[in-house]
Structure 1
Amino acid sequence: MSHKFSLAHLTVLGWSPAEMAYNASLLGYDYIGIRNINMGVKGERDFSIPLGSGRYKSLKEALEETGMKIHDIELARVLDGGDVSSYEPAFEAGASLGARAVLSSIWTDKKDYYIEQFAKLCDLAAQYGMTVNLEYVTWAGVWNLKGVMEVLNAVKRTNARVMADTLHTWRSRVSLGELRSVPKKLFDMAHICDAPAEIPDRGDKDALIYTGRDARYYVGEGGIDVAGMVKCMREDTVLSIELPHLARAAEYGYTEHARRCLATAKEYLRKNGAD
């Protein structure tokens, strides 16, 4: 199988990064993606891991014991009134633990401002040998592939990448033709999950957020052409399973939920010739 699989933190938000390393290793994942940039979301724990802290030492020990690797850290958002230089401690800690990539998204409509900030973000990440994977999120400022490509073409940074999430790709009505038009070198990773085929109106932010954070489907269970999207990318694109489902996590427990996430994704992609 060409694709490697990563466990995204949003799938198992009750686990610390160290717990993710131990459990993902046992379940057969190749990588983990951690949320070591505190977003201040209500009810979400602070998983920041300052260099030299107890959390940092625990995660480093877990990685060394299991051989698990961190693929990406998140989420370096471009926000009104923010300064991306504030992410440097998280970049430094993540890179020192072997992280290869930073996830970013843009949450403002001020184009000149967000292009300037994203360029600065790429330059900061480059100092730590990391790529910046810009995700289009259906309810964000930059919400579709066209918007992401405009940013990448404007900043012209060699470490800038496209991050396609299958849920947002479907719900932002990005076609397979659009995905195929993106140079394959720009796809280092993707988030995969499934969802109902019906697309809520973009103005119905509550419905969009509910599925995105609370009720994504196992791959192959819904109406998204996940295989078609994956086939538009490089064969070595890392597939990060971002599949939060609060009810199932409560029913099965995080370990079984994470196991089912990986097993169903592998089986679906194999059956559909996208493995």
Structure 2
Amino acid sequence: MSQRIISLAALTVLELSPPEMVEVAARAGYSHVGLRLEPATPQEKHFPLVSDADLRRQTVARLRDTGIQVFDVEILRLKPETRVSDFAAILAVGAEFGASELLVAGNDPDEQRLTENFAALCDLSAQYGLHPHLEFMPWTDARDLVQAMRIVENAGRENGCVLVDAFHFNRSGSRLEDLRRLPASRTHYVQLCDVAGPRPDDMDEILRQARNERRFPGDGDCDLLGLLRNLPADLPLSLEIPTLGLLEQGVSALERAQLAIDKTWALLTHL
């Protein structure tokens, strides 16, 4: 088996500070981590890497000591009022950590403006060596794979990419036949988790599951092998698997990170 990049996503162990997360990733056998430079919601626990220089220094030191690398940084939201130039400080920190990928959400119902802002973000990100990945999520304004592909193609930037997350792929009703049309150059990683049960009718319930109740690969109903077989071979994997129930039961971040990577390696043996 080739040594595929496997990165620990922040949402899997969101209670950890960045230095703690790096330590857990190293102990569990990951090669990379994803750092959350901007919180996804106002409510979530957040460690302000962009504004806290001391925390950045601690994180860089832990990265150096463990050999773990930063793969992606998140999460930038493109909203109607967004001024892309305001993201420069965040992108600079991402580059400082050596990240190559940037996770982006589309939160603007005007698709033309969303596309233009994504193009502008690609232009700004290119100065920092980053590839913006538009992640489709069914409750956002990039709802599914087809729409995300259209926005990225219409933006027309070489470094513009689409991020496929197994949860959102399933819950948005996206199709493998559409995934086959995604050029290999348009995605540099995939977010992996499993999903249990049929797609709820209620979007609030889908959102709750996305943030709190995903499954480890092989523990749900998602056709993860079908998904991976229709993506470039050995595409880096970011394991984004929030499991609030396990956290509340006292299962440690290290144990959860270990379960995630062990079950991922087991899945990959079937490819």
TM-score (norm 2): 0.95
Alignment match, 1:246: 244
For residues 139-150 of structure 1, the aligned pairs below 5 Å read 139-150=139-150
SS for the counterpart of 1:259 is helix
Alignment match, 1:215: 213
Which residue identity lines up with residue 198 of structure 1 in the other structure?
A: P
SS for the counterpart of 1:181 is coil
Q: What is the CA RMSD across the aligned residues, in angstroms? A: 1.3
**What is the distance in 2 between the residues matched to 1:169 and 1:46?**
26
Query: Does the CA-based 8 Å contact 1:40-1:46 persist in structure 2?
Result: no
Q: Percent identity?
A: 30
Alignment match, 2:13: 12
Which residue identity lines up with residue 10 of structure 1 in the other structure?
A: L
Residues 37, 11 of structure 1: CA spacing in aligned structure 2 closer, same or farther, 3 A cutoff?
same
Superposition deviation, residue 250 in structure 1: 2.9
Which residue identity lines up with residue 230 of structure 1 in the other structure?
A: L
**What is the distance in 1 between the residues matched to 2:236 and 2:161?**
13
| 2:229 pairs with 1:231 | yes
Query: Does the CA-based 8 Å contact 2:24-2:253 persist in structure 1?
Result: no
**What is the distance in 1 between the residues matched to 2:211 and 2:52?**
31
Residues 88, 104 of structure 1: CA spacing in aligned structure 2 closer, same or farther, 3 A cutoff?
same
Q: Deviations over 1:198-251 (max 9, x none)?
A: 0112xx121111110001011111110011101111123111000001111232
Superposition deviation, residue 158 in structure 1: 0.6
**What is the distance in 1 between the residues matched to 2:35 and 2:181?**
30
Alignment match, 1:269: 268
Q: What residue ranges of structure 1 are gaps of 5+ in the alignment?
A: none
Q: What residue ranges of structure 2 are gaps of 5+ in the alignment?
A: none
Q: Deviations over 1:135-160 (max 9, x none)?
A: 10111111111111111111110101
Which residue identity lines up with residue 11 of structure 1 in the other structure?
A: T
For residues 81-230 of structure 1, the aligned pairs below 5 Å read 81-201=81-201, 204-230=202-228
Superposition deviation, residue 47 in structure 1: 2.3
SS for the counterpart of 1:95 is helix
Alignment match, 1:21: 22
**What is the distance in 1 between the residues matched to 2:181 and 2:112?**
25
TM-score (norm 1): 0.94
Query: Does the CA-based 8 Å contact 2:191-2:239 persist in structure 1?
Result: yes
User: Where has structure 1 moved over 4 Å in runs of 4 or more?
Assistant: none
